[in-house]
Amino acid sequence: MARIEGVHLPNSKRLEIGLTYIFGIGLQRSKNILKYTKIDPNIRIKDLSHDQIATIQKYISDKYKVEGDLHKEITLNIKRLQEIGSYRGLRHKRSLPVRGQRTKTNARTRKGPRRPGAAITLKKTVTKK
């Protein structure tokens, strides 16, 4: 099992797909890394040599922010937005969608499960004749 940037990559996957298990590396970036390092994207991770793993590791650590550093940067950016009191910061603070999505319906992923009693229903009173 290859270990790059502290992430164990699955042995049976193609290298091109396996690199996407690292936070901050998607398919396009994975392709660019393999093109630059001149490693075949179709080989399986279990077939990599130690030299190839070292080459990929060095290139990723030199060129990109991934894993812990990237998580830290994202967290600091959100904290900065909250401290300056921007609209986006307030939305983050209240756990609401940040990018303009509707919240009357939908948005359950961001808001969490419905709380009983949160929705006030107006009951019609029955009048007798």
Encoding tokens for residue 96? 């609401």
Q: Is the pLDDT of residue 118 over 70?
A: no
Q: Is the pLDDT of residue 121 over 80?
A: no
How high does pLDDT run on average in the chain? 90
**Residue spans per domain, the chain:** 3-64, 69-110
What length is written for the chain? 129
- Which amino acid type is present at position 86? S
pLDDT per position as a tens digit, 28-67: 999 999 999 999 999 999 999 999 999 999 999 999 999 9
Q: Give the confidence band of 127 by pLDDT, cuts at 50, 70, 90.
A: confident
What pLDDT was estimated at residue 122?
67
Please state the φ and ψ torsions of residue 44, each to the nearest 5 degrees: -80, 155
Please compute the mean of the pLDDT values over residues 79-103 and round it to a whole number. 94
CATH of segment(s) 3-64: 1.10.8.50
Give the architecture-level CATH label for domain 69-110: Irregular (4.10)
Task: Tell the burial category of 29 from Cβ atoms under 10 Å away from its Cβ (0-12, 13-18, 19+).
Answer: middle
